[in-house]
Amino acid sequence: MDNFWRVSRSYPTSALEEAFNDMRISPNYNDITYNNLNHHQGFRRSYPPLNYTLFSSSPECACSMCRSLYNLAIDPKTTKMLQNFIENVQPSYIKHLFWAFANRIEEMMNQPLANLITQSLIERLTAEQMDYIIYDICSKSCCLHRICINTYGRKALEKLLERIRDPQVIDVLTKALKTSVLQLIDNDEGRNFILFCLRNFSDKGNEPILEVIGHNCAFIGSSRKGCTVLTQVITNLPDRITNEIEWRNHVLAIKYIAQSAQRLAYDQFGNYPIQSLLELRNPYFNTIILNQFKGEFYQLSSDKFGSNVVEKCLMVVTQMDQLDDIITELLSKTGTSSLFLNEYGNYVMQTALKVSKEWMSLKHLYLLQSLKENQQIIRNTPYHKHLLKWLPRNH
């Protein structure tokens, strides 16, 4: 019978039975069925039912589980039981499970079922153990990248980072991310992880990420995925900065975005971050943007995407002379080239009429005069009602 057991071990076994074998649990010989003793194929074995006592809190069981942690984690039959075991076992056993996990961090994080075990285990780890995992992942840049672009791996890593309290550990992570920030932004899961970092880490912690974003803002902002990252950088900045040093890296990154406004404003995606930046109503950044647009307001207003940016400029100006300068450029061309007749420019002119009236600017009269001169042509346009309502009824 001993010879039979040695032979039968070569047959496929479940993860749980491997744990049984490691613990030297004897099989139930009553369950052995004989299939023609004289047949050359030998015996066929039927496996005993799962023994749930494997998940007891005895040291022997815990050690066995450590040896088979990954196999137990990816087996649908044992995942839930293992998860319950981790949530309720004494802290002294977590140490053994941790080292088993540390040997296969990437696999445990990225595998759908093992990811559940990973998240349960993270809640039981000490600060030192969590720091060790981050250091280990960051020592292998390819490993970090693969985890960040994996749906399950990203969630597990984010959960781990939410529990990290040491700023030095965050610094190590963001420095390791620096070389792959652009690739991560171009990936759905990777972009979500970058957004997580921007929302949850301090300005200093995000310094490597912000540096890459700032220097590549024109490239990043011209994509559907990238423009959301620029917008997040902008919206993270508080309305009032009481400590400039604390927000130095954010301010520098946003300055680069403002300096790229002329290029981004014409882009179908890049115009959104510029509008978000204008909405901050920060005099420093708005001055940079308006200086970028000098001599460009007419052309921008004729553009499908740029016209939205010009409208935003008109709505957020804080000085009368800034408003007058913009309107002067908008009125620089008359006749058939008038922005009143442009399919996009007419919206800009409607906003200019509204804002100049609110400011009681003399430029409002110039706008009305130009509108009056072009009213006969404007009547033939689809948007004539919205424009001609600004003229007195006797006209």
Q: How many CB atoms lie within 10 A of CB 288?
A: 17
**Residues pairing with 45 in the sheet:** 32
- The per-residue pLDDT for range 131-150, each reduced to its tens digit, is 999 999 999 879 999 999 99
| Neighbour tally for 84: CB within 10 Å | 12
Q: Which amino acid is at 152?
A: Y
User: In the predicted model, what is the mean pLDDT of residues 108-132?
Assistant: 96
DSSP letter at 240 equals S
Does residue 1 carry a pLDDT above 50? no
Greater model confidence, 264 or 375: 264
Distance in angstroms (rounded) separating the CA atoms of residues 131 and 168: 10
Phi, psi of 152 (to 5 degrees): -80, -40
- Give the domain ranges of the chain: 335-395
Name which of 250, 253, 256 is nearest 203 in CA terms. 250
Answer yes or no: are the C-beta atoms of 15 and 68 closer than 8 Å: yes
Closest CA to 43 of 77, 9, 70: 9
Whether the predicted pLDDT of 39 surpasses 60: no
pLDDT in tens, 249-285: 999 999 999 999 999 999 999 999 999 999 999 999 9
The DSSP output letter for 295 is T
Does the structure show a pLDDT above 50 at 151?
yes
Mean pLDDT: which of 35-49, 131-145, 374-388 is highest? 131-145
Instruction: Output the furthest CA–CA distance in the chain (Å, rounded).
Output: 114
Contacts of residues 201-204 at CB distance under 8 Å and 24 or more positions apart, as own/partner, are: 201/170, 201/174, 202/167, 202/170, 202/246, 203/246, 203/247, 203/248, 203/249, 203/250, 204/167, 204/171, 204/249
Q: Average pLDDT, whole number, for the chain?
A: 84
CA 273 to CA 124: how far, in whole Å? 41
- The tokens describing 310, both together, are 């010009």
pLDDT at 62: 53
Q: What is the mean pLDDT of residues 375-383?
A: 87
Q: What is the pLDDT of residues 197-248, one digit of tens each?
A: 999 999 999 999 999 999 999 999 999 999 999 999 999 988 777 677 778 9
Pairwise CA distance, residues 62 & 86, whole Å: 10
Binned at pLDDT 50, 70 and 90, residue 173 comes out as very high
- Check residue 36 and give its pLDDT: 39
Mean pLDDT of the region 44-59: 43
Q: How high is the pLDDT of residue 394?
A: 61
CA–CA distance, 200 with 198 (Å, rounded to integer): 6
To 10 degrees, the CA torsion angle through 383, 385, 386, 387? 90
Hey, what are 52's tokens? 């749930």
Q: Which pTM value belongs to this model?
A: 0.81
In angstroms, the CA 303 to CA 56 distance is 69
pLDDT at 391: 84
| Residue 42, number of CB atoms within 10 A of its CB | 13
10 Å Cβ neighbour count for 332?
A: 13
Residue 32's φ and ψ, nearest 5 degrees, are: -75, 130
**Interacting residues of 229 by C-beta distance below 8 A, sequence separation 6+:** 185, 191, 194, 195, 198, 213, 220
Contact 144, 170 (CB under 8 A): no
